[in-house]
Structure formats: structure tokens, C-alpha cells
């Protein structure tokens, strides 16, 4: 076995000699010819002769010269400048010492001079360094322990690991997305509970109280006094049947309408809390209602943007260095901290699924690269026809929703108040819009899933295209319903008499509660349908396919977990929650309970009924796209709520804004009561004199950070190439060492010997001296006969 040094040992040995000499004393200095020879060798390294040496080497040379100059002076001012800069001081100090050592090693100076510089580097300014490093390590260890403790308290931690090990990170991203929405709805619920529900529970409800003294006060008081008996006479159960209460719970009317669940229950009062030393502390419930509603929209936006940015970073990182992805997963993908057999099996499954994903992507890319011009033309024609068909389906769905909403409202106005109207028929007609939307959401995505198969997209883009089409369907359904409601409740004036308490001469006394009831019914219907499909479709399908495997497996087949459909289900549910929370403040509590139940139902169905998907996809990109879809639905939710706040007249019979012309008027009234200086500053912040310079400054900052990002990307590319050249430098130096020693590279010698052995074995097995791995040369039949008779001459000639 050869005693030649391994890669990396040359530099390490040299550094050890320098450090040893720094403590043991001087040794003889090398001659001038040795220094010149060393410089010539260093100048001929690949990193010095490549095309990048003009920029990166010059930059690195300046940095090395700068560091060496500082080190040669011996005072180490950079180390002294670091002191007192917080907890990162020890790391910066250690980094400075390491850089100084590297600079000393690279200098073309005698060994005695290098050792003297190293003694100065290690001896000055290092008092207390060991203590700071020790404290830094303890702090780092404490943070790791705290992180592990919080990780053990993570919600649904064990189910997440089971899902990841069996089905991969793609499906895991769906359940992580569901958990994120659970916490988002929990935050929204806490906001509405603390600032709206809790004050309403504390303060006594007083019918007929108003906050302002404009001309609408008298009509508001009169409408409220008419609204309460009107509501009771219409919806309160008159028979002692439990079915009446069940219908009320499903419709959100009767006993449900006059509760804290809906907008109409809350008052338009300013409660006096305490009065001390001339100051009166009050709680303005209408203002709190509006600001809290705007706050949950703002918090949702901030959390979505933050999560999207993190997912985008992961996506960009995972999309780079495709060449090394297999090596990283095979040689560096295992977690050596795993000491449990079940955890090891899960990790095996995760790595296997990721490798499968990479191989599938490469296969699809190769298939796309081999398409001919005719195949591309035919494929684009098919995609055009499919998109036209998709638009036609979306248009037909919008018309059905509009017709169902109009029919339900007209039927309720004509037959809903009749005494002989059947309760079940009334419930069915009331749920007509919700049933129509739910039916479209169940049937149309199946059609979209079949159509996208004809378009021959990659698995990742296929999921994204299906998600886009389905989200447009669902958002268009909700938008059509809200547009229909807008045409029914948006009036510019109110008539006199009893009709003044109604909306657009329609039998709706409190349109905000009416909208909240529609969102409430959609949430309830979505929950019931989702639960029914999971329990009565997915489980029976698995039982039937398993029971009659030979007969039905090819026809029905085992079901896969459809990520587009399931993602759109929770995005649709979140859309209803965002819109409905403004008109039904306690709706987030229902959404939290619904999300928890859905998580366990989906997890149970996934583990027992589904098989791993045959179309793998990446979790990082999927998670980012999920957030983009959620952001699109969020923007849709802002539009109807914003229109309701600034444009539509509030109902005169109910709600915190019953005495105002618009809901936003409560903000202008509050600002009008502020001191003059504060009011002027606030109005200036909303004027063009402030907004225009602010926008210009933001544009300049955006341009600056964009340019900085481009420069960083270029520098990263340069450093990557330089890193490759550094590896070639080590190989070059090892080759010179082997040449000086008169030996050969042991690794290359073994590779050459193994290759020669394989060729020899193949030559013995193959007839006529040819290798089995390559076909014989194509020659005419006569020449081939001659070749068979003289194999050696053929080998020599070819």
C-alpha cells in the first residue's frame, strides 16, 4: 500500500508545521530558488490560468494582501474592532483567525517569517477568547434544546411524519398547508372574540340606542323596533318539534339569527368604561368592529406573503444544482441521528420517493425534447380546444348559480312566509344556491382532471393547471353569488314608510345578516358534503376494490390522493371564512372545528384508502403555488367586503352601523373628534403630497434591491466556478507531488487496473475478440467473412 499523502493532507501538514514552528522556535529558511519554484507552481494552477482569474483571483488577491498586511503589522485591529459587538463576537473572532492563518499559508515567504506572523496573530488580542467561545457554544446548545422541545410540542407532529414516510413530501405539503390555515383561523377567531364578542357579552344590550345625531337616527330606531318582532314572527318555531330547530341551525335563521354568530346582533353603541380626572374612557363598538375586520385581513396578508417568500426560497434552492441532486440524496441524505426502526423506515421511504420524483422529471424532459414539429402542432391544437371547452364550462356554471340565487330569493318572497309551506321544501329551496355551487365543485373538477390528461403536461405543471382552472371555477362561483346578492341589496335610496326598513323592496330587513347566512350555509354544506364523500364514497370504494380485486381493479382501480381537488377544497373553505367573518364574526370558530375534523378524516382516508401517486411532484414548489392560489382568493375576498364598507348603505334595522350612511363613516367621525394637529397629520399622510414621494422612494428601493440581487447572482455563479477550480488546484498539486516522488496516483492506478480487468473479461467472453458492450463494425458481408477468418487483422484495422 502506498504511503503517498491523500487529498487535503498537503495543506494540513504545511499548516501544522507552521504552527509547530510558531511555538518551538525558528528553523532554517528556504532558499530563494525554492521560493521562485513555489511561486511558479502556484501560478500554473488551474484557478490562476482560467478565464475567471481576471476577476475572482484579482478580487481574492486584494483580499489576501489586505489580510496579510494587517497580520504582518501584528496589532490585529480587525479583531479589536469586533470586540463588544454582541453574541456573534466569538464567531467573528474565530473567523478572523482562520482567515489570517489561510493568508499566512498562501504567502510566498520563508517559513520562519510565517511562524513569527502566526505567533503575533495568536498572541495578541485573544484574552478572553476561550471564554467567549465557550459561552457561544453554550448559547447555541441552549437554542438547539429549546428548538427540539418546541418541535416535540408541534401540532400533528407524529401524523406528519407518517404521511411523509409513506407518501412523500408532496402530499405532506397539503397537510402542512391545512395546519397553517388552522392557526390562521385561530388567530382570526381570537381577534373577533377579544375585540367584538367579549365587549358585546360584557355590555348590556340596549335596543334603540344610536351613536350619532344625524337624520337617519329616527329611522334606525324605528326599523330596529320593527325588525325584532318581524324576525321572531317569521322564523321562531311555532311547533314543539325538534325538526324546526334543526332547520334553523342549518339555515342560520330563527333561533340562530338573533345570536352573536351574525352581524345583526351587535349594537351601535359607544360604551363609557371609566371616567377619571376629566378623562372619559369609552369603547366604540362600531369602530372596533370595522378596525378588527380590517386587522384580520391585514394579518392574513402579512402571513401569506411571509410564507410565500419562504416557500419561494426553498423552491429556488431546490431548482438549482440539478447535477448534484442524486449524489446529495444518496450520500448525504441520511439522518444519522435516527435510532428508531420505524423512523428509519420512514426516512427510507422519503429518500426513495424523492429519487423517484427526480427520475420521473428527467424522463418527462427527455420525452418533451424528442417531440417533432408535427407532434407539437397537434398538441397545441388539442390544448386550444380544451381551453375553449373549459371557458364554456365556467360560463355555464356561472349562469346556473345566478339562476339558482334569483330563484331562491323570489320563491322565498312569494311562498316563504306562507303558513302551509312545507319545512323541508323551504329548506331545500333556501339551500338551492349552496347545492348548485357544491355540485359544480364536485363534478367540474373531475371533468378538468380528465381534460388535462389530453394536454400532455409535466406532473408539476399539470397540477398547477388543474389548480388554476378549479380555483377559477370556485372563485367564479362565489363571485357570481355575491354579484347576485349585490344586485338585490344595493340601492341608492330608501322609500318611506315600512318599506324604508327593507332593502330594494325585497323582504330583507338586515342584508348583512342575509349575506352572513349565505356564507354560513356554504360552510355547512361544504362540511357535510366533504364528510359524506370521505365516509360513504372513499371507504366503500376501497372495500369493493379489495374484495373484488380481480374483477374491478382494472375498471375502478385504487384511488390516489388528488392534491388539486383537496387543496381547492380548503382554499374554497378559507375564502368563505374570510368573506363570512365580516358578516358572521363567529364563523372562524366553525372553520377551526371544521379544519380539525377534516384533517383527521383526510389522514385516515389517505392511510387506508389511497396508494402513492404515480405522478410525483416537489413539495417546495407545490407549497409556494398553494400560497399563490390562496393569495388570489384573498384578493377576491377583499373586493365584496370593501364594497360593503365604502359603498352600500348599511341596514337601518340591525348592526353597529345602522345609523350611518356608510360603514366607513365611523372612521371619519372618529377622526373629526381628534385634536387639530393630530387630525392634520393624519390627513397629510393620506394626501398626494405624502403618497407620491413615498411611492417614488419605494420604487428606488425596489430598483436598488433588484440590482443588488442580480449582482449577487452573478457573484454566486463566479464563486461556484471558482470552487470547482479550487478542487482542480488540489488535484494539480497532488499530481506534482506524485511526479516529484516518482509514484503514480493510487486512486487512478486502481481505476485503470479495474478498467483493464473489465476489458479483459469482456474480451474473453465475446466472440472474435469484440466487446459485448459495443456492436461489431458494419462492413460488407464479404469483408465480414474475412474478418471472421482473421479476427486479429480486424481488430488492428478497426
Which residues pair with residue 276 across a beta bridge?
Answer: 279
- pLDDT surpassing 90 at residue 294: yes
pLDDT average, residue stretch 741-769: 66
- Residue-by-residue DSSP string for 243-254: HHHHHHHHHT-T
SS3 340: coil
Residue 770 CA to residue 563 CA, distance in Å, equals 52
- Residue range 489-510, pLDDT digits in tens: 776 444 444 545 666 655 677 8
Residue 17 CA to residue 112 CA, distance in Å, equals 11
- pLDDT surpassing 50 at residue 793: no
- pLDDT surpassing 90 at residue 594: yes
- pLDDT surpassing 70 at residue 430: yes
What pLDDT sits at residue 433? 82
Task: Give the CA count within 13 Å in the CB-facing half-sphere of 162.
Answer: 9
SS3 content of the chain, % helix, strand, coil (to 5): 75, 0, 20
- Residue range 637-647, pLDDT digits in tens: 999 899 889 88
Among 80-84, 228-232, 786-790, the least confident range: 80-84
Between 470 and 657, the more confident residue is 657
Residue 747 CA to residue 755 CA, distance in Å, equals 12
- Residue range 325-335, pLDDT digits in tens: 677 777 777 77
Among 97-106, 164-173, 314-323, 584-593, the least confident range: 314-323
Among 198-207, 217-226, 436-445, the least confident range: 217-226
What pLDDT sits at residue 587? 93
Contact 576, 526 (CB under 8 A): yes
Between 367 and 792, the more confident residue is 367
- pLDDT surpassing 70 at residue 409: yes
pLDDT average, residue stretch 162-190: 87
Residue 62 CA to residue 60 CA, distance in Å, equals 5
- pLDDT surpassing 70 at residue 302: yes
The sign one gets for the Cα dihedral 492, 498, 501, 503 is: negative
The three state secondary structure string of 412-463 is HHHHCCCCCCCHHHHHHHHCHHHHHHHHHHHHHHHHHHHHHHHHCCCHHHHH
Exposure of 43 by Cβ count < 10 A (0-12 exposed, 13-18 middle, 19+ buried)? exposed
- Residue range 776-786, pLDDT digits in tens: 444 444 434 44
What pLDDT sits at residue 564? 74
pLDDT average, residue stretch 428-441: 81
Residue 361 CA to residue 196 CA, distance in Å, equals 51
What pLDDT sits at residue 622? 64
Among 92-96, 283-287, 539-543, 755-759, the least confident range: 92-96
- Residue range 206-233, pLDDT digits in tens: 544 444 444 455 555 566 666 654 454 4
pLDDT average, residue stretch 114-137: 65
Exposure of 209 by Cβ count < 10 A (0-12 exposed, 13-18 middle, 19+ buried)? middle
Q: Among residues of the chain, what percentage have pLDDT more than 90?
A: 11
Among 56-60, 139-143, 244-248, 482-486, the least confident range: 56-60
How many CB atoms are located within 10 Å of the residue 283 CB?
15
What pLDDT sits at residue 32? 57
Confidence of residue 87 (pLDDT cuts 50, 70, 90): very low
What pLDDT sits at residue 770? 45
Between 69 and 512, the more confident residue is 512
pLDDT average, residue stretch 750-764: 70
- pLDDT surpassing 50 at residue 633: yes
Contact 641, 582 (CB under 8 A): yes
What pLDDT sits at residue 777? 47
pLDDT average, residue stretch 95-109: 71
Per-residue CA distances from 599 to 177, 179, 434, 609, 636 (Å): 11, 8, 23, 15, 26
What pLDDT sits at residue 206? 54
Between 177 and 795, the more confident residue is 177
Confidence of residue 33 (pLDDT cuts 50, 70, 90): low
Highest mean pLDDT: which of 219-228, 552-561, 685-694?
685-694
What pLDDT sits at residue 210? 47
What pLDDT sits at residue 183? 93
- pLDDT surpassing 80 at residue 420: no
Which residue in this structure is represented by grid cell 377579544?
194
Confidence of residue 688 (pLDDT cuts 50, 70, 90): confident
Confidence of residue 181 (pLDDT cuts 50, 70, 90): very high
Confidence of residue 30 (pLDDT cuts 50, 70, 90): low
The sign one gets for the Cα dihedral 7, 11, 12, 16 is: positive
pLDDT average, residue stretch 584-613: 90
What pLDDT sits at residue 783? 39
What pLDDT sits at residue 417? 60
Which residues pair with residue 274 across a beta bridge?
Answer: 281
- pLDDT surpassing 60 at residue 788: no
Contact 133, 94 (CB under 8 A): yes
What pLDDT sits at residue 371? 79
Backbone angles phi, psi at 524, to 5 degrees: -65, -45
- pLDDT surpassing 90 at residue 250: no
- pLDDT surpassing 60 at residue 551: yes
- pLDDT surpassing 80 at residue 407: yes
Cβ-Cβ contacts under 8 Å for 708 (sequence gap 6 or more) = none
Longest CA–CA span in the chain (Å) reads 120
What pLDDT sits at residue 7? 45
Confidence of residue 253 (pLDDT cuts 50, 70, 90): confident
Confidence of residue 591 (pLDDT cuts 50, 70, 90): very high
Set of cell numbers at residue 230: 318581524
Between 142 and 14, the more confident residue is 142
Per-residue CA distances from 743 to 93, 731, 737 (Å): 42, 15, 9
Contact 372, 350 (CB under 8 A): no
Confidence of residue 20 (pLDDT cuts 50, 70, 90): low
pLDDT average, residue stretch 275-292: 81
Pairing of strands 270-276, 279-284: antiparallel
Contact 380, 457 (CB under 8 A): no
**Average pLDDT, rounded, for the chain:** 73
- Residue-by-residue DSSP string for 190-236: HHHIIIIIHHHHHSPP-TT--S--STTHHHHHHHHHHHHHHHHHHHS
N-to-C CA span, the chain: 38
Between 650 and 463, the more confident residue is 650
- Residue range 342-366, pLDDT digits in tens: 667 777 877 887 787 778 777 877 8
What pLDDT sits at residue 144? 79
Between 108 and 128, the more confident residue is 108
Give 653's DSSP letter: S
Amino acid at each position: 500500500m502506498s504511503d503517498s499523502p491523500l487529498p487535503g493532507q498537503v495543506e494540513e501538514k504545511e499548516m501544522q508545521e507552521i504552527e509547530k514552528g510558531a511555538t518551538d522556535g525558528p528553523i532554517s529558511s528556504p532558499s530563494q530558488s525554492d521560493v521562485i519554484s513555489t511561486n511558479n507552481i502556484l501560478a500554473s494552477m488551474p484557478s490562476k490560468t482560467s478565464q475567471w482569474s481576471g476577476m475572482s483571483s484579482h478580487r481574492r488577491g486584494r483580499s489576501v494582501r489586505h489580510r496579510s498586511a494587517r497580520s504582518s503589522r501584528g496589532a490585529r485591529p480587525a479583531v479589536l474592532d469586533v470586540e463588544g459587538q454582541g453574541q456573534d463576537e466569538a464567531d467573528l473572532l474565530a473567523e478572523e483567525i482562520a482567515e489570517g492563518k489561510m493568508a499566512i499559508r498562501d504567502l510566498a515567504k520563508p517559513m520562519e517569517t510565517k511562524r513569527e506572523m502566526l505567533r503575533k496573530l495568536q498572541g495578541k488580542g485573544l484574552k478572553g477568547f476561550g471564554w467567549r467561545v465557550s459561552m457561544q457554544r453554550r448559547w447555541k446548545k441552549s437554542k438547539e434544546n429549546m428548538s427540539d422541545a418546541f418541535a416535540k410540542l408541534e401540532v400533528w407532529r407524529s401524523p406528519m411524519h407518517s404521511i411523509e414516510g409513506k407518501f412523500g413530501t408532496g402530499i405532506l405539503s397539503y397537510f402542512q398547508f391545512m395546519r397553517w390555515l388552522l392557526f390562521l383561523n385561530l388567530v382570526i377567531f381570537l381577534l373577533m372574540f377579544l375585540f367584538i364578542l367579549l365587549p358585546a357579552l360584557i355590555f348590556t344590550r340596549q335596543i334603540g340606542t344610536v351613536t350619532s345625531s344625524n337624520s337617519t337616527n329616527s329611522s334606525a330606531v324605528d326599523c330596529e323596533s320593527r325588525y325584532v318582532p318581524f324576525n321572531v314572527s317569521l322564523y321562531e318555531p311555532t311547533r314543539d318539534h325538534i325538526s324546526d330547530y334543526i332547520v334553523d341551525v342549518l339555515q342560520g335563521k330563527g333561533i340562530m339569527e338573533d345570536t352573536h354568530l351574525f352581524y345583526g346582533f351587535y349594537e351601535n353603541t359607544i360604551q363609557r368604561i371609566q371616567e377619571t380626572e376629566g378623562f372619559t374612557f369609552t369603547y366604540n363598538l362600531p369602530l372596533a368592529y370595522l378596525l378588527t375586520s380590517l386587522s384580520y385581513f391585514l394579518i392574513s396578508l402579512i402571513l401569506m406573503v411571509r410564507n410565500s417568500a419562504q416557500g419561494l426560497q426553498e423552491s429556488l434552492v431546490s431548482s438549482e444544482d440539478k447535477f448534484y441532486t442524486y449524489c446529495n440524496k444518496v450520500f448525504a441524505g441520511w439522518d444519522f441521528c435516527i435510532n428508531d426502526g420505524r423512523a428509519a423506515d420512514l426516512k427510507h421511504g422519503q429518500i426513495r420517493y424523492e429519487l423517484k420524483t427526480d427520475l420521473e422529471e428527467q424522463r418527462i424532459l427527455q420525452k418533451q425534447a424528442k417531440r417533432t414539429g408535427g407532434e407539437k402542432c397537434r398538441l397545441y391544437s388539442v390544448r386550444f380546444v380544451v381551453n375553449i371547452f373549459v371557458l364554456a364550462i365556467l360560463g355555464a356554471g356561472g349562469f346556473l348559480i345566478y339562476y339558482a340565487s334569483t330563484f331562491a330569493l323570489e320563491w322565498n318572497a312569494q311562498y316563504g312566509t306562507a303558513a302551509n309551506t312545507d319545512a323541508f321544501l323551504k329548506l331545500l329551496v333556501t339551500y338551492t344556491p349552496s347545492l348548485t355551487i357544491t355540485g359544480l365543485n364536485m363534478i367540474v373538477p373531475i371533468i378538468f382532471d380528465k381534460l388535462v390528461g389530453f394536454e400532455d403536461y409535466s406532473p408539476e405543471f399539470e397540477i398547477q393547471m388543474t389548480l388554476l382552472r378549479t380555483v377559477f371555477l370556485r372563485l367564479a362561483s362565489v363571485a357570481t353569488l355575491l354579484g347576485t346578492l349585490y344586485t338585490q341589496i344595493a340601492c341608492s335610496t330608501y322609500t318611506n314608510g315600512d318599506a324604508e326598513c327593507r332593502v330594494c323592496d325585497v323582504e330583507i330587513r338586515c342584508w348583512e345578516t342575509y349575506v352572513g347566512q349565505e356564507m354560513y350555509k356554504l360552510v355547512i354544506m361544504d362540511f357535510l358534503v366533504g364528510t359524506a364523500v370521505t365516509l360513504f364514497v372513499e371507504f366503500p370504494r376501497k372495500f369493493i376494490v379489495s374484495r373484488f380485486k380481480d374483477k374491478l381493479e382494472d375498471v375502478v382501480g385504487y384511488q390516489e390522493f388528488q392534491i388539486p381537488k383537496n387543496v381547492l377544497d380548503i382554499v374554497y373553505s378559507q375564502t368563505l371564512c374570510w368573506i363570512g367573518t365580516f358578516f358572521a364574526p363567529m364563523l372562524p370558530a366553525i372553520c377551526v372545528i371544521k379544519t380539525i375534523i377534516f384533517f383527521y378524516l383526510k389522514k385516515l382516508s389517505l392511510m387506508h384508502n389511497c396508494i402513492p401517486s404515480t405522478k410525483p411532484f416537489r413539495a417546495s414548489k407545490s407549497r409556494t403555488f398553494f400560497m399563490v392560489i390562496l393569495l388570489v382568493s384573498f384578493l377576491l375576498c377583499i373586493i365584496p367586503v370593501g364594497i360593503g364598507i365604502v359603498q352600500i348603505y348599511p341596514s337601518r334595522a340591525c348592526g353597529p352601523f345602522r345609523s350611518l350612511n356608510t360603514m366607513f363613516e365611523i372612521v371619519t367621525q372618529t377622526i373629526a373628534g381628534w385634536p387639530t394637529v393630530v387630525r392634520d397629520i393624519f390627513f397629510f399622510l393620506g394626501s398626494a403630497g405624502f403618497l407620491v414621494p413615498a411611492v417614488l422612494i419605494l420604487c428606488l428601493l425596489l430598483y436598488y434591491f433588484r440590482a443588488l440581487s442580480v449582482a449577487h447572482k452573478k457573484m454566486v455563479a463566479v464563486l461556484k466556478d471558482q470552487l470547482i477550480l479550487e478542487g482542480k488546484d488540489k488535484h494539480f498539486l497532488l499530481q506534482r507531488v506524485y511526479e516529484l516522488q516518482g509514484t503514480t496516483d493510487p486512486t487512478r492506478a486502481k481505476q485503470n487496473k479495474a478498467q483493464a480487468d473489465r476489458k479483459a473479461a469482456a474480451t474473453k467472453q465475446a466472440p472474435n475478440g469484440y466487446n459485448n458492450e459495443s456492436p461489431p463494425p458494419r462492413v460488407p458481408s464479404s469483408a465480414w467473412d474475412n474478418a471472421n477468418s482473421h479476427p486479429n487483422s480486424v481488430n488492428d484495422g478497426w
